[in-house]
């Protein structure tokens, strides 16, 4: 025989309070299971096989700053124990990032009961350690840079103080606010359908999940949305060199004097430029022969020259052969075109991609298929090789964008509930690198289009032909378009300019409308584009497919 002890607790004010109470109660001798309800309800229950007196429970609660208002004891027998321990849900979602929350919300909207399990901080990568903090700090660095190096004659600014600690504090406050408003409060608004459990999930069968190695819940379907984390370089680990990741770099208490960044793609370039603009001497070491190697070569060349002009040091075709650290200085030994070079800096940041958060999920035990890097393989329905288990977001082989995560989470949930009725289509997926100027792309590159058999025509419009760029005194960059000669459809757009991320959606829609509705580039040229806005560059680049841009007037048609 076991005993269920029902508790009413006063003082819980947020979701993390649930975790604190659960941890405190779990430490008591003889506890078999602990369940803490939503913090607003202030309720908890424990299952115990030993006698635990009221005073012991009261003390454990008060020691962590809460008050025990009421305690009720109920004797339970074996059949009742199963009901308490094995909470039944239609769907279990593992992870509370963009994919997980989207999946949970969609499941609730479809009238199903869902449990969402999180072992860490609610909100996942984007709001806590990814998009929100990085773009906030990039904005700060951009403001500082523009004040010091604006292109307007007669306009000068003198920055007398820059306080990194205050910037970090403001960034953290924003993260806390968004986590609460967009994740915790949103989940709470569906509390009739969504149950949040904070603990470690292990999948022990296609319908069973073990929580914190203690109790098991039974579910019909599972959606894995545990995300990914920065990966390290093995040679640095072997040599015991302490390194930063994108996560820890944005949490530094003070700025280093110098920084080596390993990698040459989005995160490396974004944070590299950001740190440089804040006064850090930055060196970027990239393994491939160019930075952003999967992009159009013109984009790679342009951003390389822009960053070098700002003062960043960029080296490509780098092979790292050794590393070490001595007190406050760290070194990378590398070969570049066969010649050995040594690079020294106060800090090293690794930006070499991501590794999936799957280590403790028990995927091998259930035979769930992953790729060579450990990312979960899904079909276009977001279904794994196990028919009732789906996966979404960064933990899968999908592109690592929060908007892909959110979309895939919703699609995975809908397919899990209704059957495989929806597919994810990435053919018009836009991507943005938040350097200054920004880099934005959608659709095929010129090489991809040719390799796929298209007869292509292209245009490359320098921003010096765009009136908005001229009046802003910033003509860096260009727009490159790839069109299908036979259909007159747009099939690719590649942009580097200020606010390229705001422009790319127009190109994405043009590609999509061509595929779905037969909208041609000739049709687009008959549409009105406002004069003296940056998106006019799209229309000018379309006209440049067949006309000489030198002969186009303002407001050209």
Q: Which of 376, 375, 390 is nearest to 422 (CA)?
A: 390
Q: What is the mean pLDDT of residues 430-445?
A: 98
pLDDT bin (cut points 50, 70, 90) of residue 26 is confident
Q: Are strands 114-118 and 194-198 parallel, antiparallel or unpaired?
A: parallel
Q: Is 554 a catalytic residue?
A: yes
d(CA 382, CA 388): 11
Can you tell me whether residue 107 is helix, strand or coil?
Answer: helix
Q: Is 403 a catalytic residue?
A: no
pLDDT bin (cut points 50, 70, 90) of residue 155 is confident
H or E segment to which residue 284 belongs: strand 281-285
Do residues 470 and 464 lie in contact, with contact meaning Cβ atoms separated by under 8 Å?
yes
Q: What is the mean pLDDT of residues 448-459?
A: 97
Point out the catalytic residue in the list 463, 489, 531, 554: 554
pLDDT value, residue 413? 98
pLDDT value, residue 556? 58
Q: Is 517 a catalytic residue?
A: no
CA distances from 395 to 130, 267, 341, 411 (A): 15, 18, 36, 15
Which string of b and e fits 457-486 if b means at least 16 CB within 10 Å? ebbebbbebbbbbeebebbbbbbbbbbbee
Model confidence over 355-381: pLDDT tens digits?
999 999 999 999 999 999 999 999 999
Model confidence over 191-210: pLDDT tens digits?
889 999 999 999 999 889 99
pLDDT bin (cut points 50, 70, 90) of residue 153 is confident
Q: Is 190 a catalytic residue?
A: no
Position with higher pLDDT, 529 vs 83: 529
Point out the catalytic residue in the list 403, 489, 517, 555: 555
d(CA 442, CA 429): 6
Do residues 42 and 8 lie in contact, with contact meaning Cβ atoms separated by under 8 Å?
yes
H or E segment to which residue 18 belongs: helix 15-26
pLDDT value, residue 78? 42
Q: Which of 449, 452, 453, 512 is nearest to 481 (CA)?
A: 449
pLDDT-wise least confident of 230-234, 276-280, 459-463: 230-234
SS (H, E, C) 48-73: ECCCCCHHHHHHHHHCCCCEEEEEEE
Q: Is the pLDDT of residue 30 over 80?
A: no
Question: How many Cβ atoms from other residues are within 10 Å of residue 185's Cβ?
Answer: 11
Point out the catalytic residue in the list 12, 250, 274, 463: 12
> Which string of DSSP letters, residue by residue, matches 207-245?
TEEEETTTEEEEEEEEEE---EEE---HHHHHTT---B-
Q: Is 349 a catalytic residue?
A: no
pLDDT value, residue 43? 84
Torsion over CA: 277, 281, 287, 289 (sign)? positive
Which string of b and e fits 504-517 if b means at least 16 CB within 10 Å? bebbbbbbbbbeee
pLDDT value, residue 158? 81
Q: Is 454 a catalytic residue?
A: no
pLDDT bin (cut points 50, 70, 90) of residue 293 is very high
Point out the catalytic residue in the list 66, 183, 390, 465: 66
SS (H, E, C) 348-380: EEECCCEEECCCCCCHHHHCCCECCCCCECCCC
The token duo for 57 is 């429970």
d(CA 369, CA 48): 38
Q: Is 183 a catalytic residue?
A: no
pLDDT value, residue 160? 81
d(CA 68, CA 280): 52
pLDDT bin (cut points 50, 70, 90) of residue 2 is low
Q: Is the pLDDT of residue 554 over 70?
A: no
pLDDT value, residue 479? 98
Q: Is 14 a catalytic residue?
A: yes
Q: Is the pLDDT of residue 11 over 90?
A: no
pLDDT value, residue 36? 77
Q: Which of 514, 223, 230 is nearest to 378 (CA)?
A: 223
The token duo for 444 is 């095929």
Point out the catalytic residue in the list 1, 14, 183, 465: 14
SS (H, E, C) 117-149: EECCCCCHHHHHHCHHHHHHHHHHHHHHHHHHH
Q: Can you give the pTM of this predicted structure?
A: 0.83
pLDDT-wise least confident of 22-26, 318-322, 553-557: 553-557
Point out the catalytic residue in the list 126, 250, 349, 463: 126
Point out the catalytic residue in the list 1, 17, 190, 465: 17
Q: Is the pLDDT of residue 86 over 50?
A: no
Q: Count the residues in the chain.
A: 557
Q: Which residue has the tokens 């869902």?
A: 114
Which phi and psi angles does 344 have, rounded to 5°?
-120, 145
pLDDT bin (cut points 50, 70, 90) of residue 37 is low
Q: Which domains does the chain have, with CATH numbers?
A: 2-81 (3.30.70.100), 88-124+171-229+355-418 (3.50.50.60), 234-352 (3.50.50.60), 431-551 (3.30.390.30)
Q: Is the pLDDT of residue 266 over 60?
A: yes
Q: Which residues pair with 438 in a beta bridge?
A: 497
pLDDT bin (cut points 50, 70, 90) of residue 46 is confident
pLDDT value, residue 353? 93
pLDDT value, residue 3? 75
- Mutual orientation of helices 402-418 and 98-109 as an angle, nearest 10°? 30
């Amino acid at each position: 025989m076991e005993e269920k002890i029902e508790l009413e607790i006063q003082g819980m004010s947020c979701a993390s309070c649930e975790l604190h109470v659960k941890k405190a109660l779990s430490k008591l001798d003889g506890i078999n299971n602990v369940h803490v309800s939503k913090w607003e309800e202030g309720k908890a229950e424990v299952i115990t096989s030993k006698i635990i007196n009221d005073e012991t429970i009261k003390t454990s609660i008060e020691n962590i700053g809460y008050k025990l208002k009421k305690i009720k004891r109920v004797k339970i027998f074996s059949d009742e124990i199963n009901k308490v321990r094995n909470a039944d849900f239609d769907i279990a979602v593992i992870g509370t990032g963009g994919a997980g929350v989207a999946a949970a919300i969609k499941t609730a909207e479809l009238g199903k009961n869902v449990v969402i399990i999180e072992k860490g901080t609610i909100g996942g990568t984007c709001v806590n350690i990814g998009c929100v903090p990085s773009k906030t700090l990039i904005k700060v660095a951009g403001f500082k840079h523009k004040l010091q190096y604006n292109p307007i004659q007669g306009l000068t600014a003198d920055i007398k103080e820059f306080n990194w600690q205050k910037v970090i504090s403001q960034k953290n406050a924003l993260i806390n606010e968004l986590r609460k408003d967009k994740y915790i409060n949103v989940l709470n608004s569906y509390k009739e359908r969504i149950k949040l459990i904070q603990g470690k999930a292990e999948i022990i069968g296609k319908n069973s999940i073990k929580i914190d190695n203690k109790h098991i819940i039974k579910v019909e379907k599972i959606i894995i949305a545990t995300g990914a984390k920065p990966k390290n370089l093995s040679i640095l680990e072997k040599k015991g060199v302490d390194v930063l990741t994108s996560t820890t770099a944005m949490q530094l208490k003070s700025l280093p004097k110098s920084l080596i960044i390993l990698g040459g793609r989005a995160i490396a370039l974004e944070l590299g430029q950001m740190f440089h603009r804040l006064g850090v001497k930055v060196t970027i070491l990239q393994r491939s022969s160019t930075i952003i190697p999967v992009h159009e070569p013109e984009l790679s060349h342009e951003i390389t020259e822009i960053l070098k002009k700002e003062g960043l040091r960029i080296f490509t075709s780098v092979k790292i052969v050794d590393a070490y650290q001595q007190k406050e200085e760290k070194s990378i030994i590398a070969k570049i075109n066969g010649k050995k070079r040594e690079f020294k800096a106060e800090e090293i940041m690794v930006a070499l991609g991501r590794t999936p958060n799957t280590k403790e999920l028990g995927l091998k035990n259930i035979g769930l298929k992953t790729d060579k890097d450990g990312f979960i393989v899904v079909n276009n329905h977001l279904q794994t090789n196990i028919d009732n288990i789906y996966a979404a977001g960064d933990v899968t082989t999908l592109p690592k964008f929060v908007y892909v995560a959110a979309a895939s989470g919703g699609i995975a949930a809908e397919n899990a509930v209704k059957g495989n009725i929806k597919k994810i289509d990435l053919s018009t997926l836009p991507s943005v690198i938040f350097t200054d100027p920004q880099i934005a792309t959608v659709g095929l590159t010129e090489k991809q289009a040719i390799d796929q058999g298209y007869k292509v025509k292209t245009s490359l419009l320098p921003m010096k032909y765009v009136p908005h760029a001229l009046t802003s005194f910033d003509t860096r960059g260009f727009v490159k378009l790839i069109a299908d000669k036979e259909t007159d459809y747009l099939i690719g757009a590649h942009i580097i300019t200020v606010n390229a991320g705001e422009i790319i959606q127009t190109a994405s829609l043009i590609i999509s409308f061509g595929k779905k509705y037969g909208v041609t580039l000739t049709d687009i040229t008959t549409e009105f584009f406002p004069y003296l806005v940056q998106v006019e560059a799209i229309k000018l680049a379309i006209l440049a497919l067949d006309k000489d841009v030198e002969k186009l007037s303002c407001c050209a048609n």
